[in-house]
């Protein structure tokens, strides 16, 4: 919720600081690039030395960034503030993903979905709160969201204490992942990671076009108000939250690879149709697209954790980092493209990205690998 306030107030920042779309993209890049670069480093470090209270520390960085952006005197301060929010995310996510797996009771996909749906639900609330709080009250009202950060810090201190007292759980549950990947060569594991990265690129590059520029697209194409555009963004992000909660448990029951197949490639007909739809069908199509695309990430995270067992923090940091990094790079590149062409052209180009889902064919079936060892 706290992070999503930033893209939700892009129209306010654009008007207040006289920004172009390229500078809007730089704001997203500053937040997500700091997050993406630091997350694998934090994850690798905490695999060796777990840090239960880093959860609260990460939220502290986010709190500082929110207060700073609410009183930012200029564009450079805005960049500094969102970078702090990105650092908070980098510190928070690797260990929080580990805690979700610790608390899963073996249902890793369900736990990852529940963890991520908290983020997606908060992301959906951000534009709604921006529409009804920040837009009427101004940029300084962002500081009120620091109350939520303070409550979160108190909760995370308690979770950190539980984590510290139950670290022995980390040594359990690794056998399944080790057995699943033991029949794969290091070359095959490397190729599989590369395919997963390509799928992450497809998903988050496309999502960047919707999260960062959907309100501008609606305002430009259909001439609706900023508040109405924020409500449409809320509907889309709500669909993303629903897709996230579906993807994990379905992966537990039917297999991660199947979920990855239909969640990445499935939205292609809808993304190709979106640039040509009217307002009603645009809203409907984005709901379907959000449901499909969001269901992929929990399955990809757990699939990668089982592919490289014993490296939960590293894998979580790598893939969460890639997710934010791809979103940041995508936002910056698409902003420049929108400045030189049009926001409608951006959506036509991005509509082909789900076709990268065809690469899922190269992923090994880890569940089958457990049952059928590879011959020497």
The 8-class DSSP code of residue 373 comes to P
Q: What is the pTM of this model?
A: 0.74
CA distance 372 to 68: 55
pLDDT score of 355: 95
pLDDT score of 105: 83
Task: Please determine, for residue 370, whether its predicted confidence score (pLDDT) is greater than 60.
Answer: no
Q: Tell which CATH architecture fits domain 5-371.
A: Up-down Bundle (1.20)
pLDDT score of 371: 44
Positive or negative CA dihedral for 264, 125, 325, 252?
Answer: negative
The pLDDT tens digits for 237-293 are 888 888 888 888 888 888 889 999 999 999 999 999 999 999 999 999 999 999 999
CA distance 207 to 358: 18
Percent of the chain whose pLDDT exceeds 70: 93
For 23, phi then psi, to 5°, come to: -70, -35
- Residue partners of 319: CB distance under 8 A and separation at least 6: 196, 200, 300, 301, 304
For the chain, give every domain's residue range.
Answer: 5-371
Task: Please determine, for residue 200, whether its predicted confidence score (pLDDT) is greater than 80.
Answer: yes
The pLDDT tens digits for 72-114 are 888 999 999 999 988 998 888 888 888 888 888 888 888 888 8
Count of C-beta atoms within a 10 Å radius of residue 273:
15
Q: Is residue 153 within 8 Å of residue 60, measured between CB atoms? A: yes
Q: Decide: helix, strand or coil at residue 134.
A: helix
Q: What is the mean pLDDT of residues 228-237?
A: 87
The pLDDT tens digits for 318-349 are 888 888 778 777 877 888 898 899 888 999 99
Q: What is the mean pLDDT of residues 62-66?
A: 91
Q: Where would I find the beta strands (DSSP E) of the chain?
A: none
Q: How confident is the model at residue 373 (pLDDT cuts 50, 70, 90)?
A: very low
pLDDT score of 169: 67
Q: Is residue 224 within 8 Å of residue 279, measured between CB atoms? A: yes
Written as six digits, the tokens of 96 are: 């929080």
Q: What is the mean pLDDT of residues 169-189?
A: 65
pLDDT score of 372: 45
- Residue partners of 258: CB distance under 8 A and separation at least 6: 251
Between 177-191, 195-209, 268-282, the lowest mean confidence (pLDDT) is in 177-191
Residue with tokens 């992070």: 3
pLDDT score of 283: 93
Instruction: Give, in order, the Cα–Cα distances in Å from 205 to each of 89, 139, 200, 286, 337.
Output: 19, 28, 8, 15, 13
């Amino acid at each position: 919720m706290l992070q999503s306030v930033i893209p939700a107030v892009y129209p306010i920042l654009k008007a207040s600081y006289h920004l172009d779309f390229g500078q809007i993209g730089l704001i997203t890049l500053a937040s997500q690039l700091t997050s993406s670069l630091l997350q694998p480093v934090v994850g690798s470090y905490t695999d060796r030395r777990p840090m239960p209270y880093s959860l609260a520390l990460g939220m502290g960085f986010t709190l500082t960034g929110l207060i700073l952006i609410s009183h930012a005197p200029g564009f450079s301060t805005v960049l500094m503030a969102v970078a702090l929010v990105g650092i908070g995310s980098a510190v928070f996510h690797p260990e929080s993903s580990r805690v979700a797996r610790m608390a899963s009771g073996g249902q890793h996909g369900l736990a990852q979905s529940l963890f991520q749906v908290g983020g997606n639900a908060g992301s959906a609330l951000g534009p709604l709160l921006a529409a009804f709080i920040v837009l009427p009250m101004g940029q300084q009202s962002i500081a009120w969201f620091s109350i939520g950060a303070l409550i979160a810090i108190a909760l995370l201190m308690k979770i950190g204490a539980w984590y510290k007292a139950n670290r022995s759980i980390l040594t359990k549950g690794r056998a399944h992942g080790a057995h699943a990947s033991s029949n794969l060569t290091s070359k095959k594991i490397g190729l599989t990671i590369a395919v997963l990265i390509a799928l992450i690129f497809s998903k988050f590059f496309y999502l960047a076009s919707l999260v960062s520029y959907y309100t501008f697209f609606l305002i430009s194409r259909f001439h609706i108000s900023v508040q109405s555009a924020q409500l449409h963004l809320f509907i889309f992000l709500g669909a993303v939250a629903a897709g996230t909660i579906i993807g994990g448990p379905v992966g537990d029951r039917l297999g991660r690879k199947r979920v990855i197949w239909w969640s990445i490639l499935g939205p292609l007909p809808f993304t190709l149709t979106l640039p040509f739809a009217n307002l009603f069908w645009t809203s409907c199509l984005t709901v379907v697209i959000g449901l499909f695309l969001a269901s992929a990430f929990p399955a990809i995270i757990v699939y990668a954790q089982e592919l490289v067992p014993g490296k939960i923090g590293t894998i979580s940091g790598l893939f969460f980092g890639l997710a934010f990094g791809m979103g940041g790079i995508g936002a910056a590149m698409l902003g420049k493209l929108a400045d030189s062409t049009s926001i409608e052209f951006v959506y036509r180009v991005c509509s082909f990205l789900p076709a990268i889902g065809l690469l899922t064919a190269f992923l090994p079936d880890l569940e089958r690998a457990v049952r059928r060892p590879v011959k020497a």
